[in-house]
Amino acid sequence: GEDVEQSLFLSVREGDSSVINCTYTDSSSTYLYWYKQEPGAGLQLLTYIFSNMDMKQDQRLTVLLNKKDKHLSLRIADTQTGDSAIYFCAESIGSSASKIIFGSGTRLSIRP
Amino acid sequence: KAGVTQTPRYLIKTRGQQVTLSCSPISGHRSVSWYQQTPGQGLQFLFEYFSETQRNKGNFPGRFSGRQFSNSRSEMNVSTLELGDSALYLCASSLADRTEAFFGQGTRLTVV
């Protein structure tokens, strides 16, 4: 079946690294995404990784993909108060990869 | 380059009415997908259009329909509105098959 799972909450101290984990079920996923949603806003594409990659780094963001375990993680280095948001893990499925299945979102809160 | 534009941003309707939401994709993007976001169900796929044809459909009743025009703009219609249709409706566009998806800010529909 199609399912993406992630923990609901994460609290980190400002300046520390945040690691948000996600598991997915569809092995045919083409893209795996991380989206950020701030209160009252739409979805902002943070980063994505193509399914044949193991790692992608983009400034403070590092995405790790373990295809064998169907595990995806997002690491945010030097977490700032502006990083407070809900982070959604998602996978694209289907022959056109146009259908996206989302996790329930992880609410990241930053402690001073 | 303009992003995905959804109109209107906010809408209040009464039960039994119908509503039409609009989505203008990023210029050049041919695929448009629609999602419903509610606190209880999270983000759920509604349907996807490509070159004016519906290619994928989620598990929503027939009251939810859509269409895509030759310029790739898409509309979503919900008839006989129910209180449970209150949600944030998000539209995403992608260039072609197997390319990343970008979301608009969403239309927040409240049914009273």
Per residue in A57-66, pLDDT (tens digit) is 999 999 999 9
- Residue B64: the pLDDT is 98
What are the φ and ψ backbone dihedral angles of B56, each rounded to 5 degrees? -135, 150
- Predicted confidence band at A97 (pLDDT cuts at 50, 70, 90)? low
DSSP character string of B18-76: -EEEEEEPPTT--EEEEEEEETTTEEEEEEEEETTEEEEE-S--TTEEEEE-TTS-EEE
Whether A46 and chain B come into contact, CB under 8 Å, resolves to no
Contact B45 A97 (CB under 8 A): no
Residue of B45, B47, B109 to mutate, testing the A interface (most A Cβ within 10 Å of its Cβ): B45
d(CA B112, CA B101): 32
Chain B residues inside the 8 Å CB shell of A105 = 42
Cβ proximity of B32 and B48 under 8 Å: yes
Contact A100 B45 (CB under 8 A): yes
The 10 Å Cβ neighbour count of residue A35 is 26
What percentage of residues in chain A have a pLDDT greater than 70?
95
Angle at A101 between CA A98 and CA A106, to 5 degrees: 135
Residue in chain A lying closest to B103 (CA): A43
- Predicted confidence band at A72 (pLDDT cuts at 50, 70, 90)? very high
- Residue A58: the pLDDT is 92
Whether A35 and chain B come into contact, CB under 8 Å, resolves to yes
Q: Shortest CB distance from A98 goes to which of B97, B104, B106?
A: B97
d(CA A107, CA A84): 8
Q: Which residues of chain B have pLDDT under 70?
A: 1, 97-98
B 1-40 residues inside an 8 A Cβ radius of A: 6, 31, 33, 35
DSSP character string of A55-111: EEEETTEEEEEETTTTEEEEEESS--GGG-EEEEEEEEESTT--EEEE---EEEEEE
